[in-house]
């Protein structure tokens, strides 16, 4: 069976493609936020766009938690500070000095904390595509997180991904169901600075690899 195009299909012209390339290049992981609040309607809109992301078997396993309670936010900040100290202890010498200087979260400044969980055995999708690779469930949540990240950047918002957390402790803090797995803990807000290069590159921690070095042929 062949189907013709939907007549409402949009045209993505060269000017749009140029802007899209700029969006990819100027998306940043943001850890330095202004205190200005984020309009809840904008946040809803971004989560709606994130929910258009692809998912294994169309299972849509993303579960977003807006962390508003001050005590829970404080517990997450302390979770990060404990785990970050533990991470620092694993380095020595110059690397340890460098690590200690990095700012690896904006948890205390960001007006919005958003946790993205995966419901690990969702009813939706009826198991299509994940029998061989169950990890495609959290991968699906990552696609939503990245969609959110880009949509947020296009709306002048910054997003910072914090993975230096004990995920089980974070799940307990947020009182989510047992079968939800933490995929991403995001700080969201208006950035205090704008840069074209990653902060970890600017602070001498790591540099960008040439794309040619990541492409193999067999």
Ligand X SMILES: Cc1cc2nc3c(=O)[nH]c(=O)nc-3n(C[C@H](O)[C@H](O)[C@H](O)COP(=O)(O)O)c2cc1C
| Smaller CB separation from ligand X, 33 or 125 | 33
Order of strands, sheet of 62-66, starting from the edge strand that comes earlier in the sequence: 62-66, 112-119, 180-189, 158-162
Cβ 93 to ligand X shortest distance, Å: 21
Cβ 177 to ligand X shortest distance, Å: 23
Integer angstrom CA distances of residue 180 from 47, 91, 152: 18, 32, 24
Cβ 13 to ligand X shortest distance, Å: 27
**Helix, strand, or coil here: 124?**
coil
CB nearest ligand X: which residue?
198
- Rounded Cα distance, 153 and 149, in Å: 6
Place of tokens 């829970």: 72
- Rounded Cα distance, 29 and 199, in Å: 8
Residues 63, 176: contact at Cβ < 8 Å?
Answer: yes
Cβ 204 to ligand X shortest distance, Å: 12
| Smaller CB separation from ligand X, 31 or 113 | 31
| Smaller CB separation from ligand X, 208 or 218 | 208
| Smaller CB separation from ligand X, 31 or 130 | 31
Residues at the interface with ligand X (CB under 6 A): 28-29, 31, 104-105, 161-164, 198, 200
């Amino acid at each position: 069976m062949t189907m013709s195009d939907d007549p409402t299909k949009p045209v993505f012209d060269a000017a749009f493609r140029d802007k899209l390339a700029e969006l990819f290049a100027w998306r940043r992981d943001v850890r330095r936020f202004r205190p200005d609040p984020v309009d809840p309607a904008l946040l809803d809109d971004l989560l709606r766009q994130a929910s258009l992301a692809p998912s294994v078997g169309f299972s849509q396993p993303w579960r977003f938690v807006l962390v508003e309670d001050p005590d829970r936010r404080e517990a997450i900040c302390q979770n990060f500070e404990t785990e970050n100290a533990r991470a620092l202890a694993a380095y020595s010498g110059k690397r340890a000095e460098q690590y200690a200087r990095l700012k690896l979260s904006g948890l205390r400044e960001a007006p919005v904390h958003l946790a993205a969980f995966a419901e690990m055995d969702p009813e939706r999708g009826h198991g299509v595509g994940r029998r061989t690779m169950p990890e495609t469930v959290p991968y699906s949540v990552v696609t939503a997180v990245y969609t959110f990240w880009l949509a947020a950047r296009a709306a002048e918002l910054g997003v910072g991904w914090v993975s230096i957390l004990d995920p089980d402790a974070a799940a307990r803090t947020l009182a989510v169901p047992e079968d939800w797995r933490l995929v991403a803990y995001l700080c969201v807000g208006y950035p205090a600075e704008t840069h074209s290069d990653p902060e970890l590159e600017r602070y001498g921690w790591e540099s960008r690899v040439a794309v040619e070095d990541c492409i193999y042929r067999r």
